[in-house]
Amino acid sequence: LPGRDGWSVVQELRRSGKDTPVIFLTARDAVPDRVKGLGLVADDYLVKPFAFSELLARIQTILRRSPSRHPDTLRIADLEIDIDHHRVTRSGHRIDLTPKEFLLLSLLARRAGEVLGRTLIAERVWDMNFDSDTNVVDVHVRRLRAKIDDPFEKKLIHTVRGVGYVLEDRG
């Protein structure tokens, strides 16, 4: 790492509350270095040179042990989406959504900041091949906006003309 070492990167990562799995890949093979690396909450420590198959096996082991990387609650600005309980709140106010509205909002939230095209939305929410003559996506986005955005000053669901929709906090 130019200008930094792995120790400082992992310490910063852990201080920021991230629990991303970390494997040190290093030439430092002394026992004190290994102990330090694992003590910094690294998930594993592998000394170079190593066999790629061993690295792959260690990655698979860490992923098996790790909890699902999908959070139970998604947050964008003052919007909270409790995936497990199908509950949505904004500024502390509960918002009731239909199952399709919840699926649509969850999709937008899981990919917050990314513009999602109508075709992708139709495929993921309705399991349908997109028909350019249908406005099902636009209608449901409008209904979702009426519940999520209209009662609030800050808008979170944005249209990208000719492309699709994005859920993001634009400040």
Q: Of 32, 65, 98, which marks where a domain is finished?
A: 65
Q: Is 158 found in the same domain as 78? A: yes
Angle at 135 between CA 132 and CA 136, to 5 degrees: 115
Q: Is pLDDT of 91 > 90?
A: yes
* DSSP secondary structure string for all residues of 106-124: HHHHHTTTS-EEHHHHHHH
Domain boundary residue among 22, 48, 65? 65
Q: Give the residue from 102, 107, 131 showing the smallest Cα distance to 121.
A: 107
pLDDT at residue 127, as a whole number = 80
Is residue 167 over pLDDT 60?
yes
Rounded CA gap, 155 and 149, in Å? Answer: 5
- Residue-wise pLDDT for 11-68, tens only, equals 887 777 777 888 999 999 999 988 888 887 788 999 999 999 999 999 999 888 866 5
CATH (domain of 102)? 1.10.10.10
| Residues 115 and 148 grouped into a single domain | yes
CA distance 107 to 168: 12
Are 50 and 119 part of one and the same domain? no
Beta carbons of 123 and 130 less than 8 angstroms apart? yes
Range(s) of the domain holding residue 126 = 73-167
Q: What is the pLDDT of residues 94-147, one digit of tens each?
A: 999 999 999 999 999 999 999 999 988 998 898 877 665 678 999 999 999 999
pTM for the model: 0.60
Whether 84 and 24 map to the same domain: the answer is no
Contact 155, 149 (CB under 8 A): yes
Same domain membership, residue 61 and residue 82: no
Least confident of 1-10, 70-79, 110-119: 1-10
- 89 and 161 both lie in a single domain: yes
Residues 6+ apart with CB under 8 A from 70: 83, 110
Domain co-membership, 86 together with 134: yes
Give the whole-angstrom CA distance, residue 86 versus residue 99: 9
Number of folded domains that form the chain: 2
Whether residues 77 and 61 share a domain: the answer is no
Q: Is 1 among the domain residues?
A: no
pLDDT at 67: 64
